[in-house]
Structure 1
Amino acid sequence: MPDADSSVRRRSVLAGAATAMAGLAGCTRVLGHAGDGASDVGRNATAGGGDDGSATVSMLAAGSLNNAIENGLGPAVDATIQVEAHGSARVARLVAEGQKDPDVVSVSDVALFDSPLHPDWYVEFATNSVVVAYNADTEGGRRVADAGADGWYRPLLSGEVSLGRTDPDLDPLGYRTLFALELATDHYGTDANLREAIPAKRQIYPETQLVSQFETGAIDAAFTYRNMAAERGYDYVELPPEIDLSDPDRTEAYATADYELPSGKVVEGGLISYGSTLRHHSPAARAVFDAHVAGDYLSDFGFVIPDEYPRYTGDVPDAVAD
């Protein structure tokens, strides 16, 4: 096992921290997640609907934010948070089509605020990177680990590894996986086009189910965000910055890859940037929003917070700007 290779991360103390913080999840009211028959997330901030009489704030969020919201943000605020998590493209469509009406919307790609969502303003509050997580208890997972940062794609090409990824039509992680594979083809100078050779329909899982497939050993490896791997203590191969969509200085190079969503919108590769907007204003909603986009809890769950974040775009209300 290539433990000496700093690009291959072993299970860290973050796993213990995430487990310990999971015990605080009762402070956050979880309405539901993708595929579990969750009730609607609606306008709740002024309803005073918490079980303990506190105000309730509803959030519709990217699946990769779910654990941080439940176990980091929830215990840090006075309000009860009602959170529903999906892939970000689905989050955007649910709101744009009027199927959901949350107080706060948070997505893992600010491009979704250009279309299908069109908020007057939003804030970028965190970044991330794409990694290849692997299960060290399976033969396929060990092959990925042994290949390391210079050759992780080889066992995927040979069919020796069962791979999991999310749906690019529903989730930015899904199309970012395709971007990473396309960029890897050029970076490594492979004969095969990795974006065409590696992906298969059977690999696709909803973002909130990908974790369970990985943890039960149903798949050997998965493309995921660094924060998702770190907060759960997964072993993972850290990809070079030319591939992992984390380097602001490589934004133009990332943009050479793109993907067309079912709506016809073409999404270009770029720096991973999480964004949020507050749709319904109340003191409780503003307090939760402020803690959400500026809280130290994000770093504890594997996200990266650039010095210039949170960064606001658009016609920001005075109450939020203050």
Structure 2
Amino acid sequence: MTTGATPRRRAVLAGVAGATAGLAGCSGVFGGGAAVSVLAAGSLNDALENGLRERVDQRVAVEAHGSARVARLVADGQKDPDIVAVADPALFESTLTPEWYAEFATNSLVLAYDAESPGGRRVAEAGVDGWWRPLLDEGVALGRTDPDLDPLGYRTLFALELATEHYDTDTNLRAAVPAPGQLFPETQLVSQFETGAIDAAFTYRSMAVDRGYDFVDLPAAIDLGDPALAVRYETTSYELPGGTVVQGAPISYAATLPRETAATTAVFEALTGDGYLTDFGFTVPEPYPRYTGQPPDGLAS
């Protein structure tokens, strides 16, 4: 498990909260031509706001939501961004069907906890071999995201299902742990530690590392972070509203470029290949960015 610095965590969260508060006005920029608009997964928000912006000359307007919602906003015609970036390429194979996309980073799930709360300390004490036990008790307030709105939510269910088999528990953790009151928007999940609303949360490793949260590193058999275990992850699934079934898979982020101009292409290339994501806790494998379909001439190189 990892121990973070509370002052840094609060400083970063304050910046994220300010950025998130300004998102409502970003949608008006879409189509205005003054800025390159990026509609992105909530877990990318901090990296885009505080990493991508300083690496490009173009103005960038970022709007972040859960990835399933991002995909539906575009598919339903409610948003028309220059760049779409999601936390699961499966959404480009189902809800959205772009001619091409680029996978550009990977991640893994962890169980973050508030070391200053009694419930959080119980999770820490249970450690990697027993983190699930305190979650079955009413004394630990758990936070997670809505599986109908973003991949982090359904990946949490995948991890719980995989954990049931991995630990050979008598309890079906996917059925026993989730409860309606645990749901928070992805962009607000980790900030619930600051308000005392939760003791622990399933989140991406990048989010916990970047914000300085303590967390339990889950085994590779559970954390959806090891491409070599893809076949194991595929034993899990979740049905989204509308009937689309998402299979478990190694976590990967993907982006596409619906509107190709010199400005949008420059931002897209920086977003997917500038190396800044590792500073925010993401992993960028050597073959990435990895393209599916036929990207515009020169982009893949």
Shared topology, TM-score over 0.5? yes
1:57 paired with 2:36, answer yes
Identify the match of residue 162 of structure 2 among 179, 183, 207: 183
Partner of 1:10: 3
Partner of 2:136: 157
1:235 paired with 2:228, answer no
| Structure 1 residue runs of 4 or more that deviate by more than 3 Å after TM superposition | 12-16, 29-33, 36-41
Deviation at residue 281 of structure 1 after TM alignment:
1.1
Counterpart AA for 1:126? A
Matched-pair contact (CA < 8 Å) for 1:32–1:39:
no
Secondary structure of the 1:211 match is coil
In structure 2, C-alpha distance between the alignment counterparts of 1:110 and 1:205, rounded to whole Å: 23
Shift in alpha-carbon separation, 1:101–1:254, aligned structure 2, 3 A: same
Gap runs ≥5 in structure 2: none
In structure 2, C-alpha distance between the alignment counterparts of 1:214 and 1:12, rounded to whole Å: 14
In structure 1, C-alpha distance between the alignment counterparts of 2:29 and 2:85, rounded to whole Å: 13
Matched-pair contact (CA < 8 Å) for 2:127–2:216:
yes
Deviation at residue 305 of structure 1 after TM alignment:
0.6
In structure 1, C-alpha distance between the alignment counterparts of 2:143 and 2:114, rounded to whole Å: 11
Q: What fraction of aligned residue pairs are identical, expressed as a percent?
A: 62
Matched-pair contact (CA < 8 Å) for 2:26–2:61:
no
Identify the match of residue 27 of structure 2 among 39, 58, 74: 39
1:260 paired with 2:239, answer yes
Moved more, 282-291 or 208-217: 208-217
User: Equivalent residues in 2 for 1:1-322 (5 A)?
Assistant: 8-11=1-4, 15=8, 19=12, 32-33=22-23, 36=24, 39-40=27-28, 42-44=30-32, 47=33, 49=34, 56-322=35-301
In structure 1, C-alpha distance between the alignment counterparts of 2:2 and 2:131, rounded to whole Å: 13
Counterpart AA for 1:118? T
Matched-pair contact (CA < 8 Å) for 2:20–2:187:
no
Deviation at residue 316 of structure 1 after TM alignment:
1.1
Deviation at residue 42 of structure 1 after TM alignment:
1.8
Counterpart AA for 1:104? I
Deviation at residue 296 of structure 1 after TM alignment:
1.4
Task: Flag the structure with higher helix content.
Answer: 2
Secondary structure of the 2:266 match is helix
Gap runs ≥5 in structure 1: 1-7, 50-55
In structure 2, C-alpha distance between the alignment counterparts of 1:185 and 1:265, rounded to whole Å: 25
The normalised TM-score by structure 1 is 0.88
Partner of 1:3: none
Count of residue correspondences: 301
Shift in alpha-carbon separation, 1:38–1:72, aligned structure 2, 3 A: closer
In structure 1, C-alpha distance between the alignment counterparts of 2:130 and 2:221, rounded to whole Å: 15
Say what the alpha-carbon RMSD is for the aligned residues.
2.4
Shift in alpha-carbon separation, 1:308–1:15, aligned structure 2, 3 A: farther
Secondary structure of the 2:124 match is helix
The normalised TM-score by structure 2 is 0.94
